[in-house]
Amino acid sequence: DKMRFPNRKYLQLSTLVVGFLYIGVLVCHTVSVSDIVYEGLSRSEVADDLENTITVKRWQERPPRSLSGLNGDYDVGSNDIADYHPFIDKIVQTTVRPTTKLSDIFISVKTTGPFHKTRLELILKTWYALAKEQVRFFTDTNDEEFQRRTGGRLYNTNCSSSHNRKALCCKMSVEFDSFLESDKRWMCHFDDDNYVNIPNLVKLLQKYNPQDDWYLGKPSIKTPLEIMNRDNIMQKIAFWFATGGAGFCISRALALKMMPLASGGKFISVGEKIRLPDDVTMGYIIEHLLNKQLTVIEEFHSHLEPMKFLKPDTFQDQISFSYSNYGSEMNVVNIEGFDVKDDPTRFLSLHCYLFPSFSFCPS
C-alpha cells in the first residue's frame, strides 16, 4: 500500500501537465487562425465579426417573413444582408442561395396594336401598378401614348400583327433576347389577357434558385405533346410545354443554356422547323433539346380553363388569371364587385378584392 501512493501522485501530476500543454496548443492554433482570417482588422472589429457570425447562423435558420405592402421590392428575407458587416456579407453570399426580389424579375407581356386600348389599358390600371419597373410590353406597332405611359417599356418588335406561328415566335424571340441582355435572374412571360398577382409571383420564385435550371408553368393538355421528328419521320418526339396563355418562368441559368439554340433569332428557326407556335417551341427547346423538365405550377391559369370553377376563397393563392369570350358567353372568374357592364373581364373586381386600397376600388 505504501508503494502505491507515490505512483498515484505521479500520475495525477503528469495528467495536469499534459492538460496544460494541450490547452496551450489549442490557444496557439486559435490565435494563428484568427491572425490569418482577420489580418488587418482591429481587435474590436474582430470581436464584432465573431459576434455577427453567430447572428448570421441564427438568421439562416429563420423562416421568411410574409409579404407586405405594394411598393418597393418584395424581399421577404428575415433580415437584410446589407445590414451586416461587409465581412459577414461575404460569408452569407457564399453560403445562402440568392433571395429573389421583385427587381430580379423580367416580366414580359405579349400584345398587339389592336389590343392597346382595351387589354393594355386594363393591365395598366390594375396589376401593372405593382411592378412598373419590371413589366415590359412587346407589341407590333409604334404607340406614343402607351410608350409614354409605360415609361418607354413598350417595345415594337417589328413582328407581324397576325396571330400565326411565325409572328408569335418572332415576338417570343425578341422577349427572350431582351431578357438575356438584362441583368435579371428570372424571365416570366404572360399574355395581355392575363391578370398577374405580383406578390405571389415573387413568393413563388423565392422557392427556386435562379442559378439552377428551372422551367415553371402549367400545361394545358393531359399528356405530353407528340410530334413527328423532322430529322427522322419514322420517329416521334414527346414533350411537355407550359401554355403561354397561363404564363411561365425560366431561370437565367436555363436561359444561358438555351442561348446556342434560341438567341439571336434562332428561336424563330426552331419554331419553323417543328411548325408549332411560340409556347410549344419553348417547351421543345427546353424539354426535348436540353432535356430539362417542366415544373408544373397549378396556380397559373389560362383562358383555356373554365375560370368560373376557381373558388373565391382561393384567389389569394393564385398567381395568374385570364378571361375569354365565346360568342356571347364570357369565361371569367366568378366574383362580386363592379357591374358587369363596367367590368366584363372581372379583372377590376378581382384587383379590388386582392388589393382594396387602390383609389378606384369601392371603400
Catalytic residues: 279
Give the single-character DSSP code of 344: T
Residue type for 212, please? Answer: D
d(CA 76, CA 100): 9
Query: Is-contact 172 267, C-beta < 8 A?
Result: yes
Give the single-character DSSP code of 284: I
Contacts of 41 (CB under 8 A, 6+ apart): 49, 87
- Which SS3 state, helix, strand or coil, does residue 153 take? coil
The number of angstroms, rounded, from the C-alpha of 95 to the middle of its chain's C-alpha atoms is 20
CA nearest 322: which of 337, 309, 338, 313?
Answer: 309
Query: Is-contact 281 169, C-beta < 8 A?
Result: yes
